[in-house]
Every structure is written in C-alpha cells, then in structure tokens.
Amino acid sequence: MAENILPTAQTVDLSNEKIHWQQDLSYGDYLGLDQLLAAQNTRSGQHDEMLFIVIHQVSELWMKLSIHELRAALAQVQADDLRPAFKMLARVSRIQHQLIQAWEVLATMTPFDYAQFRDTLGQSSGFQSYQYRTLEFLLGNKNARMVEAHRQNPAVHAELTAVLNSPSFYDEALRLLARRGFQIPAEKLNRDWSEPYVADPAVEAAWAEVYRHAEKYWDLYELAEKLVDVEYHFQQWRFSHMKTVERIIGYKRGTGGTAGVSYLVKALDLRFFPELWSVRTAV
C-alpha cells in the first residue's frame, strides 16, 4: 500500500517546494541503523549492562563529532579565518554538555548492579578509548605512552601517532598570536609536538595583552574564551567521571590496570591551555 502513496525517484511539487526523493534510500539505510542497533552486545545477561554499553556508545558518538568539529576548527585557525572556527568550538561546548549529562543517567546504576557484570569486562577499560585520547592530543595534552595501549590495532596506532606528532589546537593558537605580532618564544612555534606543552611567562603576557585590550584584538579574545569554555567543560567531564567511578566502585583498582579513582584525580591537574588560566590571576 505504501508504494501507492510514497513517491520514489521523482521530484514532487509540494506548495512550490521541490523535494527530491532518492530511490531505495530509507531512514534506516541512511543512518545505518541496522548496524548501529545491532551493536549492543551484552555479555552478562544482567539488566544494567545495556545501560553501560549504550552510555559508552553514545559518548563515543559525541566524541566522534567533537573530533570532526575540532579538526575543522583547527584548519580554520591555521588559515587565519576564525569566525567559522568559533561556530565549531561553540558546537563542541554544547556536545560536551551532552557528554557531561550522560553521567546523570549512568549514576542510576548502583555498585551492586555494576558488580553483577563487572567481571565480564575483563581488562577492557575506557583507558583504551582512542577517540578520547585523540581529543586529549588534539587539545594539547600530549603523552606518548598513551599510544602504546593501541599496539594491537595498527590503523588506530598510526592515526594516534600522527595526532601526537602534530601541533595541537593550543600550539596553533600560539602560532596565530605570533603571526599577529605577539612575542611568542621561538621554541613554542616549532618544537617536538609530541612533547607536553610547558607554560611560559611570555605567552601569558601575550594573552594578558589580548584580554586587557579586547577591543583591539576582538577575535583573539573570542578565541581565548572559546578555548576556556572547551577546557572548562572537559574538566567537568573528568570530574563527573571520577565522582561517578567513586560512587560505583569506590577505591577498587581499575580494570585497565590503574589505581582507579586516584588515577582519575591526578588527571584533573592536567591543563590544555595553561596560560589562559594563569592569566586570570595575572590581569
């Protein structure tokens, strides 16, 4: 019956609007729903394992979109075209909001619920999320040791190594400041990008100038604030993860081999854009 009323490969005139229906393309085909909805492979038979898998999958999808936006925004910064980058960075912040809210759903799982299936997870852990590591590297938290977790997967290993060895968003922001005439030390503009970034007073002084004279450097000021938004939300995600982990497994060791909560607490000290934070005390 549907064939009689649904147009196929033809152009339908609906109150002056031309709507093109592509033959053979359905909602489910376009979205790859058969694959997507067949990927919740629970192993334990425990009720809450479905929640656990879905939260991770949703988070990985949002990470995928964040990486897509950040990469495009980075290219715009390299090209000195900041306005499109602002739109993408604003979108990343909204995505981060979704990622943070996901903890509220997961927190409905009690320690007892989780203990019912934790053993079936083996040594797998969020520690092995290569999209998460890509985000950390893209934003500027470089750590070469983190690539080793992906030795078994050559494609992922190569891709992460490439991101590790490329300038991060912050490196590119500093190169932009230098192009605009700010005195950025030469060793910040060309360095071994795989090394963690080390803060520098001259960089803080450059950002201080941008903040003090926002009217002169409006787009740089906006870039600084957009980056602070992204780091602020990233920290909120890390904190909520740490607190959710504490309420679900307490101080047990992690399946990934770390000490657990105390490892996640240490990660809270890491900064992507250190001078954008220290400048707040300085100005």
Ligand X SMILES: N[C@@H](CC(=O)c1ccccc1NC=O)C(=O)O
Could you list the residues that contact ligand HEM (CB under 6 A)? 55-56, 59, 106, 114, 125-127, 129, 132, 241, 245, 248-249, 254-258, 260, 263-264, 267
DSSP 254: P
Residue with the two structure tokens 């033809």: 10
For residue 102, count other CB atoms closer than 10 A to its CB. Answer: 19
User: With the CA atoms of 43, 48, 52 and 57 taken in that order, what torsion angle do they form, in degrees rounded to the nearest 10?
Assistant: 80
Distance CA 64, CA 216 (A): 35
Contact 164, 130 (CB under 8 A): no
Q: Which one, of 274, 171, 172, lies nearest residue 228 by Cα?
A: 274
Nearer to ligand HEM, 53 or 178 (CB): 53
Contact partner, 163, from ligand X, ligand HEM, none, Cβ < 5-8 Å per class: none
Binding site for ligand X (CB under 6 A): 56, 118, 121, 124-126, 249, 254-256
CB of 128 to ligand X, least distance (A): 8
Contact partner, 267, from ligand HEM, ligand X, none, Cβ < 5-8 Å per class: ligand HEM
To the question of whether residue 114 is assigned a binding role by annotation, the answer is yes
Residue count of the chain: 283
Nearer to ligand HEM, 146 or 279 (CB): 146
Residue with the two structure tokens 């943070």: 100
To the question of whether residue 118 is assigned a binding role by annotation, the answer is yes
Tokens of 85: 């980058």
User: With the CA atoms of 110, 36, 157 and 124 taken in that order, what torsion angle do they form, in degrees rounded to the nearest 10?
Assistant: 20
To the question of whether residue 247 is assigned a binding role by annotation, the answer is no
Residue number of the CB closest to ligand X reads: 126
Nearer to ligand X, 74 or 102 (CB): 102
φ/ψ of residue 17, rounded to 5: -95, 130
Nearer to ligand X, 72 or 249 (CB): 249
CB of 142 to ligand HEM, least distance (A): 13
Nearer to ligand HEM, 208 or 249 (CB): 249
Q: What is the CA radius of gyration of the chain?
A: 23
Contact partner, 274, from ligand HEM, ligand X, none, Cβ < 5-8 Å per class: none
Contact partner, 276, from ligand X, ligand HEM, none, Cβ < 5-8 Å per class: none
To the question of whether residue 241 is assigned a binding role by annotation, the answer is yes
CB of 233 to ligand HEM, least distance (A): 14
DSSP 119: G
Nearer to ligand HEM, 260 or 274 (CB): 260
φ/ψ of residue 11, rounded to 5: -100, 125
| Binding site, annotated residues for heme | 241
| Binding site, annotated residues for substrate | 52-56, 114, 118, 255
